Amino acid sequence: MLFELDQVFYSRAGLEVLRGLSARLPSGASCLFGPSGSGKSTTLRLLNRLIDPDRGRVLYEGSPVEQRDVLELRREVCLVPQLPALIGGSVADNVAYGPRLSGHSFDSRAPLELAGLDASFAERPADRLSVGEQQRVMLARALALQPRVLLLDEPTAALDAAATAAVERTLADLRERTAISIVLVTHSEEQARRLADWVVRIDRGRTVAEGPAEQTIALEIAPEPSPQPAAEGERGRAR
């Protein structure tokens, strides 16, 4: 199993964001799917230790994530955030940024091409790109680190239908051409179906279903039972 989360609790500002969440994410393309505020981004950030749980365990390939060197882990398990955050300079400067930090010269053409951007993008100023193009530069920047796993937080949330289709094609292509695993966050049922083999459905900080995409997405999720017994009047009406 690529990742396993076991009874994970995480609170912020007095709010229990994750409430004993357990999930398994196999290699290949998997997806965290659920409504806004359910804890998808929080769960994703646990996987490469951008945050640590208050309680519970996160395993990467069978070992607790905290046993790994954190910088090495983040290079291997690379998160692409929901909103593009490029540095000044050219597209090539952005893509080469990570590898150059470790003192290597770097050719940005291959990651750009994998991310669906042709070589003419390399010298374009990064601040004069559409959001969809920026999203793909973010992807190229992550690919330049030669990750084993990409964590993608709603990679098409800011895009229109055409740009969404282009990014989805890029991701499908990446799956065919590389062995990189993908964990995708989405609140779109259709996107989960199109891109993922395995789906973990999250609702109010817990896993409510997990399994092969087709079965899991089709499930009706019941509302949480009320902790209080029904009032006398309501029971009367139910009869």
Ligand X SMILES: Nc1ncnc2c1ncn2[C@@H]1O[C@H](COP(=O)(O)OP(=O)(O)OP(=O)(O)O)[C@@H](O)[C@H]1O
Residue 156 lies near Mg ion (rule: CB under 5 A):
no
**Ranges of H-type helices in 109-231:** 109-114, 131-143, 161-177, 189-195, 213-218
Angle at which helix 131-143 crosses helix 91-101, to 10 degrees, equals: 20
Q: Give the range of 14-22, 40-48, 56-64, 216-224 binding Mg ion by CB under 5 A.
A: 40-48
The item of ligand X, Mg ion, none sharing an interface with residue 12, based on CB under 5 to 8 Å by kind, is: ligand X
- Contact residue for ligand X among 13, 71, 101, 161 (CB under 6 A): 13
Q: Mask: binding to ligand X, 160-199, rule CB under 6 A, as x and -? A: ---------------------------x------------
Residue 17 lies near ligand X (rule: CB under 6 A):
yes
Q: Give the range of 33-41, 96-104, 128-136, 215-223 binding ligand X by CB under 6 A.
A: 33-41
The item of Mg ion, ligand X, none sharing an interface with residue 181, based on CB under 5 to 8 Å by kind, is: none
The item of Mg ion, ligand X, none sharing an interface with residue 101, based on CB under 5 to 8 Å by kind, is: none
**Residue 108 backbone dihedrals phi, psi, to 5 degrees:** -85, 0
C-beta of residue 3 within 8 angstroms of C-beta of residue 63:
no
Residue 55 lies near ligand X (rule: CB under 6 A):
no
Instruction: Show the tokens assigned to 203.
Output: 């609702």
Q: What is the DSSP string of 107-124?
A: --HHHHHHTT--GGGTTS
Residue 228 lies near ligand X (rule: CB under 6 A):
no
Residue 41 lies near Mg ion (rule: CB under 5 A):
yes
Q: List C-alpha distances in Å: 143 to 60, 173, 197.
A: 20, 13, 21
Closest to ligand X by CB, 15 or 101: 15
Q: Which of 29, 32, 27 is nearest to 46 (CA)?
A: 32
Q: Which of 220, 170, 196, 174 is nearest to 40 (CA)?
A: 196
**Residue 183 backbone dihedrals phi, psi, to 5 degrees:** -115, 115
The item of ligand X, Mg ion, none sharing an interface with residue 134, based on CB under 5 to 8 Å by kind, is: none
Q: Which residues bind Mg ion (CB under 5 A)?
A: 41
Q: Summarize as ranges the residues that interact with ligand X (CB under 6 A).
A: 12-13, 15, 17, 34, 36-42, 187
